[in-house]
Structure 1
Amino acid sequence: MSATFLGIDVGSTRTKAVVLASGGSDALAAAAAATPQGEADGVPVHVPGAVRDAVVDTARRALAETGPEARARLGGIAVTSVGEEAVLLDAGARPVGDVPTWFAGVGHAPAREHAEELDRRAPITGLRHPEYTVHTLGWWARTRPAQAQAAATLTDLGSWLLSTLGPGELVMDHSHASRTGLFDAPTRSWRAEALDVVGTGHLALPRLVPSGTVVGELGADAAAALGVAPGVPLVTGGHDHFCGALAAGARSPGDLYISAGTSEAHLLVTDSLDPAATADSEVGCFVTDGLYYLHAALPSGALYLTWTRLLGLDPAAPLDALLDAEPVGSRGVRGRLAADRRLSLEDVPVDVSPATLLRALMETTAVASRDLTRDLSRTAARPVALRLLAGTPVASPAWRELRSVLGEGAAAFVDAREATALGAAHLAARAVTGELPPPLPRRAPDPEVPAARREEYARAFGGTALP
């Protein structure tokens, strides 16, 4: 039996663990549990100790399912996590407090307050999103000053978890650093001056390493808890979106990964970043091969959940059944998604049916995705060679047709089950063997959309993707 690798994904709501054989694309075993979440003074938080307990238990169950031979051949462990959440640690590497979740919004006010000074004193390539770690540090300094002063350093949640599994150095990988607002991607260097701006200048930043770097080995206590031998290499993972993209097959410049969840993430892989062109874009280091990414998102899933409920429909019902064979163009109803997350609908008849409105919303998000993809392509000065689409909507033939026709670059659909945890396992395998495992298998191609139907799409929405 070939070596096996453990990938762990600490998500906002679920923690997943998968065990992968070095040459395989499907998991040998998997386990999942809720990611423990609490609340502190009205702020949703992740409690580091509770999260660690959940991680160890989930990983133990996944490993137990594989059997003794696979456990004996465990060759590496890597952890991926939500990218903007940072653990503040004291001089003894102990967390000084709970971690505000990335969606808590605590950094939005500091982001507005410090934006100009950050750009002046600590410029970086790309924009600083309000959810970036540096703004949360401003919140710590303002609302939790005693804990902030007790901290000596910080790292991302995944890297901290990895460091608790055995002897090893506290580090941060480049992809997580790219989501801090303290890091310049093209130079792969910290902009520590930003810490002074937000009131945490006493903090030391961890050593930077690429994703997929061996930084330690599994200790005896953690090994006993997992049911494996000590000494297994501990490998840096990466940001969860980017690990998912890696597992899905986004590995070359021009590959675009679209993860259709509540927030529809668009991730374009590229081999260079132009600081001038990307000034207003989310950019950073990808998880493999010295590549970069441009990132943007649409609220597609949130829009779908909101409107199915408003229309009295079941959001869990199959999309094709809800659409009820509505025609291309939604009988003239048109929608537009603005950058401020506002939706406008035009030419809506007073007797419009729920199916017509839902079809119009699906077409609206498909056009918005096409336009966003074009923006990313222009910014990167690189055409989209391949669109890899993943997420729950991939199961719908109607959704696949919309996204095949309305988009840039050839479309391929991926059943990305536990893709983020698999991406972490891929990084562990590459660190130890020097080779990436094959990506997740793609869905069999759908029948080609007839030319006449493509012409309907072109008349309604302009240029469409080539067959």
Structure 2
Amino acid sequence: MADPRRPLVIGVDIGTTSTKAVAYDVDGVQLAHHSVGYPLDEPQPGYAEQDARHIYAAVLESVRTVVAETPPSIAGLSFSTAMHSLIGLDPDGHPLTPSLTWADARASRQAERLRAAPSGLALHRRTGTPVHPMAPLPKLLWFAEQEPALFGRVAYWVGIKDWVLLRLCDALVTDHSVASATGLMDLRQLSWDEEALGVAGITAAQLPELVPTTTVLPGLTAEAAAATGLPRDTPVVVGAGDGPLANLGLGAVAPGVMACTVGTSGAMRVMVEHPAVDPLGGVFCYALTERRWVVGGAINNGGIVLDWVGEALAPELGDHAEEELLAVAARAPVGSGGLIMLPYLLNERAPHWSALPRGAYVGLTTGHRRPHLVRAALEGVCQQLALVLASVRAAGNEVLEIRASGGFARSPLWRQMLADVLGMPVRFPAGHEGSGFGAALLGMQALGLIPSVDVAADLVRIEQTARPAPAAAATYAALLPLFSELYEALAPTFASLRRLAPGLSPD
């Protein structure tokens, strides 16, 4: 049991579909948590946007609820946020645009054009952010080209956490971690990149002040204090992006320890001491603290693939039939009888970073049945993660251990499949709330409550380890090169399909 007299920090995790506030003491004991959801609007194909006011209201409600359920020993708030969001503000800080999320692909053509330019790979290497429609840089190009009048009215361009902090603390700042995912910040100089700003058609004065992730803002506005139930002088730690903080939440802080998270989407990240991107641009590099960076890659298609499979191949199982669907997959052999699925239902990010690809089944025969199709979809997600792992290693990073979390981890089948496909043991920690716990730990370090976020490795308990079965691992190792080759082989087809069915892709 936690000691109610000990200081605690509330980690606030601003996610794509909900905000969760979680209170922890310095031993990592969770005292209270509350989550508030909000919609993700898709008014056109490829659009994925939100009303920033709904998210701010969710932050206030989640924090207020946790404050009411915890002792009056709150040392501060600390923030995590989904990365790559973009909002245009007027001179008074009011939104002129929705909050465009990482999943918004309206800037696909701008990203492709910029990626194909001679400066595209150089921008990626310098900023650490792949040239992809997820990133704010191509989104800014889209606004300049498609909404020039609106673009000209915007005084400031910010991310969702930046705007929340502006409302909470009356401070227009962005942390190095979030900024490193915009495509606009020079990783090594920790300053806005002049060439990237020129490409985007904006100035540094239109962006928030860059600050370290451990920056402590002195307190809340009177309105925010009243809405949360906290004293006005409550310290607020600026925090970081949810990806790097997920590594903290899993205790993956030592060199060579990789964090793998699979929810609707997925990602693999390893911490390094210096910023670096591989020569081919297959991975990202985002900041956490001065001596901690994460190198890795995200995939668009994680648990969403299982959702689609259920709707398309087993609709009679209903909306909450994950266990039954996984049982169907378990009836097919390892390798799905030579059937490969490219799981690119929502295009894809790492390691190709392209909005062109679409999903495909390759190798279908009359011998294949529903179990093969379901299992091949799950295997495809794991194989895509294996490509990300290979890219992280190609960037010169040693991976000695993998720690995984996310909704998929509830399934013994999927746990074992991931270990078999990656060809190495995967360890599953117990209990913690990932990025929210990471935010709380970062806040504790910033407030001097713990010596370093290194304590994360000791606070996270490993609950289970999945070890690769030799025969299955050998099958997947043989299939992985074929899976990888299919992307390049089908790239021209993907491009042709988009031209033939433009209504299914963003312009």
Pick the TM interval, shorter chain.
0.7 to 0.9
Match of 2:494 in 1: none
Q: Does residue 328 of structure 1 match 2:334?
A: yes
Distance 1:320 1:100 in 2: 33
The Cα of 1:122 is off from its aligned counterpart by 6.3
1:422–1:93 Cα change, 3 Å: same
Match of 1:444 in 2: 463
Match of 1:317 in 2: 322
Q: Does residue 411 of structure 1 match 2:426?
A: yes
Distance 2:424 2:255 in 1: 13
Distance 1:139 1:156 in 2: 16
Match of 1:397 in 2: 412
Q: Does residue 385 of structure 1 match 2:403?
A: no
The alignment yields a C-alpha RMSD, in angstroms, of 3.2
From 161, 165, 189, the counterpart of 2:164 = 161
Amino acid at match of 2:22: V
Amino acid at match of 2:141: G
SS at match of 1:384: coil
1:41–1:147 Cα change, 3 Å: farther
1:41–1:135 Cα change, 3 Å: same
SS at match of 1:141: helix
The Cα of 1:209 is off from its aligned counterpart by 2.0
1:271–1:345 Cα change, 3 Å: same
Match of 1:244 in 2: 246
TM-score (structure 2 length as normaliser): 0.79
Distance 1:312 1:212 in 2: 48
SS at match of 1:358: helix
Cα deviation per residue 1:394-430 (whole Å; 9 max; x = unaligned)? Answer: 1111222222233255421135663222222222111
Match of 1:86 in 2: 86
Distance 1:460 1:200 in 2: 47
1:398–1:266 Cα change, 3 Å: same
Distance 1:336 1:47 in 2: 33
Match of 2:375 in 1: 359
Distance 1:415 1:34 in 2: 24
Amino acid at match of 1:444: E
Match of 2:184 in 1: 182
1:382–1:5 Cα change, 3 Å: same
Q: Does residue 63 of structure 1 match 2:78?
A: no
The Cα of 1:125 is off from its aligned counterpart by 4.4
Amino acid at match of 1:8: V
Amino acid at match of 1:435: S
The Cα of 1:367 is off from its aligned counterpart by 3.4
Distance 1:175 1:90 in 2: 24
Q: Does residue 134 of structure 1 match 2:137?
A: yes
Match of 2:104 in 1: 104
More divergent stretch after superposition (329-338 vs 312-321)? 329-338
From 23, 27, 32, the counterpart of 1:19 = 23
Specify every segment of 5 or more residues in structure 2 that has no aligned partner in the other structure, as ranges.
345-351, 481-507
Distance 1:334 1:45 in 2: 32
From 51, 54, 79, the counterpart of 2:58 = 54
1:294–1:332 Cα change, 3 Å: closer
Distance 2:27 2:333 in 1: 44
Distance 1:404 1:3 in 2: 39
Match of 1:31 in 2: 34
Distance 1:258 1:407 in 2: 11
The Cα of 1:364 is off from its aligned counterpart by 3.6
Q: 1:29·1:62 contact (CA, 8 Å) conserved in 2?
A: yes
Amino acid at match of 1:98: P
1:7–1:274 Cα change, 3 Å: closer
The Cα of 1:178 is off from its aligned counterpart by 1.4
Distance 1:195 1:120 in 2: 16
More divergent stretch after superposition (26-35 vs 94-103)? 94-103
Distance 1:463 1:444 in 2: 30
1:329–1:45 Cα change, 3 Å: closer
Specify every segment of 5 or more residues in structure 1 that has no aligned partner in the other structure, as ranges.
none
1:136–1:360 Cα change, 3 Å: closer
Match of 2:387 in 1: 371
Q: How many residues align?
A: 453
Distance 2:409 2:17 in 1: 21
TM-score (structure 1 length as normaliser): 0.85
Q: 2:215·2:238 contact (CA, 8 Å) conserved in 1?
A: yes
Cα deviation per residue 1:19-44 (whole Å; 9 max; x = unaligned)? Answer: 111222x4211111122555778855
Distance 1:228 1:143 in 2: 43
SS at match of 1:377: helix
The Cα of 1:119 is off from its aligned counterpart by 4.1
SS at match of 2:267: strand
The Cα of 1:237 is off from its aligned counterpart by 1.6
1:41–1:463 Cα change, 3 Å: closer
Q: 1:148·1:200 contact (CA, 8 Å) conserved in 2?
A: no
1:17–1:243 Cα change, 3 Å: same
Amino acid at match of 2:270: L
Match of 1:425 in 2: 440
